[in-house]
Amino acid sequence: MPTAVAANDQDVHELQCMEVWGGASKADHAASVPGLDVYVRSTPFADEGIENEVGGGDVYYISRCGSGRVTRIALADVAGHGVKVNDLAESLKKSMRRSVNIANQTRFARALNRSFDELGRGEHFATAILSTYYAPTDHLVFVNAGHPPPLLRTKSTGRWAPLDQHTPGVLTDSTPAIGIRNLPLGVIDSTDYQQLAIKLNPGDCVLMYTDAYSESINPSGQMIGPGGFLDMVQEIDSTRVGGFEPNVLIDEVDQTIRTYRNAPSQDDETMVLLHHNGTNPEKLSVGEKLAVVGRMLGLGSLSTSPA
């Protein structure tokens, strides 16, 4: 287990060989691993009139291998909220734990989709971002199963943009697109998933979030939407006095979206922010780097140079 110290009102963990699960209760903490600082804010929905409610439909997961070279980050959102979907979220968590050592994120998503289809029996589904950060090459490898696209901020531009297959510099797997791809977990058993990878440079950030943020509605009945949420994050970043600080971004986004709604959230809320901190584990040879990431992506070769 990690040792926690107070910093900026968050629990800061130096992860060794361990895993962190959450989503059933309120959380506000941070963790550091080679190459990444990870910040998490999670607030389960609370039904009015129900005291001491514990549970929710969001699930997040962070793990680090003993060598410090591989960090896994996953964020899932079971349709629905509160204690009504908590049991299903817990079952999804168990399925994720059983399959988490699958290096290829496409295979990981397929395994989760099959298991969740059995759990939900066609009545429920979950969106998810499943990712692995490989520190020796600074690549974030991920699959998006019907989830809102993460937002990428490059230090060189200071701009936020959706992170998907159209993002400049993104690598895609070599598997031909056959059949349906990238649906939420539990919708269609035969769904396939496209694995993507992006090389992160020191100072770059990736923000993952559940749809409680992008589906926030203001008092006039206007939904902010993914584009509006992106604009909100960019405005917070651009107008902040003192420049960009990843450790306070989640607080400011959370406060701003609450002001936009001017009402309690009607869904579970979770944000996960990844910040490339410029540190690295023990170095590998170029051949070793390419071999590992190539296996993860299903590619024969991979450049370790910035795009």
CATH number at residue 36: 3.60.40.10
Question: 268 near 82, Cβ under 8 Å?
Answer: yes
Count structural domains, the chain. 1
**Which of 98, 205, 220 minimizes the C-alpha distance to 155?**
205
Is 237 domain-assigned?
Answer: no
Q: Is 134 exposed, middle or buried (0-12, 13-18, 19+ CB in 10 A)?
A: buried
Structure confidence by residue, pLDDT tens digits, 245-299: 888 999 999 999 999 999 888 788 999 999 999 987 666 666 666 666 565 555 4
* Within a domain: 44: yes
Of 34, 31, 27, 37, nearest in space to 1 by CA: 31
Q: Is residue 71 in some structural domain?
A: yes
Residue 121 has pLDDT above 50, yes or no: yes
Q: What is the DSSP string of 234-260?
A: HHHHHH-TT---HHHHHHHHHHHHHHH
Please give the residue that has the higher pLDDT: either 15 or 89.
89
Average pLDDT, whole number, for the chain?
78
Q: What stretches of the chain show up as alpha helix (H) in DSSP?
A: 86-99, 105-120, 211-214, 225-239, 246-261, 286-297
- Domain span at residue 277 reads 4-215+268-297
177 pLDDT band (50/70/90 cuts)?
A: low
Comparing CA positions, the residue from 185, 194, 184, 199 lying closest to residue 134 is 199
pLDDT digits (tens, 9 = 90+) for 211-244: 999 999 999 999 999 999 999 999 999 988 778 8
Does 305 map to a domain? no
Amino acid at 202: P
Query: Is 60 exceeded by the pLDDT of residue 204?
Result: yes
